[in-house]
Structure 1
Amino acid sequence: MSQVLTPGLPAAEVASIIEAQLRAEDALLNGHFKLSSGLHSDTYVQCARFLRKPELAAPAMAELASRLRAAGLVPDTVVGPAMGGVVVSYELARQLGVPSLFTERDANGEMTLRRGFTLIPGERVVIAEDVVTTGKSTLEVARVLGEMGVEVLAVVSLIDRTS
């Protein structure tokens, strides 16, 4: 792969490199897809094909970590929703030198912090996702964290499909 993420690149160049890497990993699929949000799209991003390779995931999350640091948004913990946010959360947390936790749906379909995980009221967290389309799961995670008295500093994602 000829394009490599390096520190300090402009945002547009970072996006272009990540898109090329997604294509190289066959992670950008074309066709007709019904997304988990219920929306329809002619493109599907299978981030797991990208994130399965540490040599791709690490530089992408290093870029997000750098942007968080530059904005003064270094959390105490990074939280991601299962399944897609688990690797993103872990690698971003590793880059920031903080713990990573994840949320999951319980038997009733409600988002909850993974069994045995705890956060302290006032703890500063970043929510990390692989793909955000409508923000539904992100809002559910934020609600869970808010109920715990946790401060959400930022939400980050590898892919932003909100527009």
Structure 2
Amino acid sequence: MTGDEILEEFRNAGALLEGHFILSSGLRSPLFLQKMRIFEDPVRTGRICGALALKIRESFGEVDIVVSPAIGGIIPGYETARALGCKAVFVEREEGEFQLRRSFEIPEGARVVMVEDIVTTGLSSRECIAAIRRHPGNLVGAACIVDRSNGTADIGVPLVSLLQLDVPAYPADQLPPELAAIPPVKPGSRVPA
């Protein structure tokens, strides 16, 4: 799938929102991608994650385990792993830090890819990658559906995406006047940093 086709999937799902949004990072943006509108449709999710699996295979070769951050990365991680024919596990916060729980393991020699839904600043990706690196597997790279950083987020490993966007994000005290004139909305699940 091309980037334009991915953007059209978001439009068709009603997942491309315009206004004044508070992102998980605490930054403000005039555009929000409500990914859960994508993930509520298993057929659409399978189509998108199948395309992500192809990109992963082209970039990193065969994969044994997909690891995703809870909660937002669980569905795309699982669906991408299904398309890759490998295991899917996730990390979740324990005492404020991502950990593998539920008896999940990353055995020595396993080829691992971290899969995210959307990368903006790369914070949750870096935290997930730090958790993966505490295990003996071989982290070969990372993938996401949408890279809102337009390729500028440094997550510490190669990152492939289906769509790169150049969407401005501003600190709350540096809003352009047109954005400051709109009341902010916090549509995501994570409390801003």
Whether TM-score is above 0.5 comes out as yes
Q: Which residue of 1 aligns with 2:75?
A: 87
d(CA) in 2 for partners of 1:113, 1:95: 22
Which residue of the other structure, out of 136, 158, 165, is the alignment partner of 1:149? 136
- Cross-structure match for 1:78: 66
Residue-by-residue CA offset, 1:76-120 (whole Å, 9 max, x unaligned): 1001101111011000000010010001111x2111113221111
Question: Any idea what SS the aligned residue of 1:162 has?
Answer: coil
What stretches of structure 2 of length at least 5 have no aligned partner?
Answer: 151-193
1:67 to 29, 49, 55: 55
Is the partner of 2:57 in helix, strand or coil? Answer: helix
Alignment match, 1:104: 92
**Secondary structure of 1:137's partner?**
helix
Q: Is 1:22 paired with 2:10? A: yes
Q: Per-residue deviation at 1:121?
A: 2.6
Gaps of 5+ in 1: 6-13
**Percent of matched pairs sharing the same residue:** 37
- State the Cα distance separating 1:37 from its structure 2 match: 1.0
Q: Distance in 2 between matches of 1:85 and 1:54?
A: 15
User: Contact between 2:60 and 2:140, CA under 8 Å: does it hold in 1?
Assistant: no
The 10-residue stretch of structure 1 (56-65 or 97-106) with the greater mean CA deviation from structure 2: 56-65
Report if aligned partners of 2:108, 2:137 keep a CA contact under 8 Å in 1: yes
Q: How many residues align?
A: 150
Hey, what's the Cα distance between the residues in 2 that align with 1:157 and 1:78? 12
CA–CA separation in structure 2 for the residues paired with 1:38 and 1:123: 35
Deviation at 1:72, TM superposition (A): 4.3
CA distance in 2, matches of 1:161, 1:71: 20
Question: 1:70, CA displacement in angstroms?
Answer: 2.3
Report the TM-score, using the length of structure 1 for normalisation: 0.87
Deviations 1:8-31 (A, max 9, x none): xxxxxx211111121121111111
Matches of 1:140 and 1:73 in 2, distance apart?
Answer: 24
- CA spacing shift, 1:139–1:38, aligned 2, 3 Å: same
Structure number with greater CO (CA < 8 Å, separation at least 6) is 2
* Structure 2 residue identity aligned to 1:133: T
Greater helix proportion = 1
Aligned to 2:125: 138
1:117 pairs with 2:104 = yes
Residues 32-84 of structure 1: CA distance to partner in whole angstroms, max 9, x if unpaired?
Answer: 11111121111111111101212111111111111222234221100110111
Task: Specify the alignment match of 1:8 in structure 2.
Answer: none
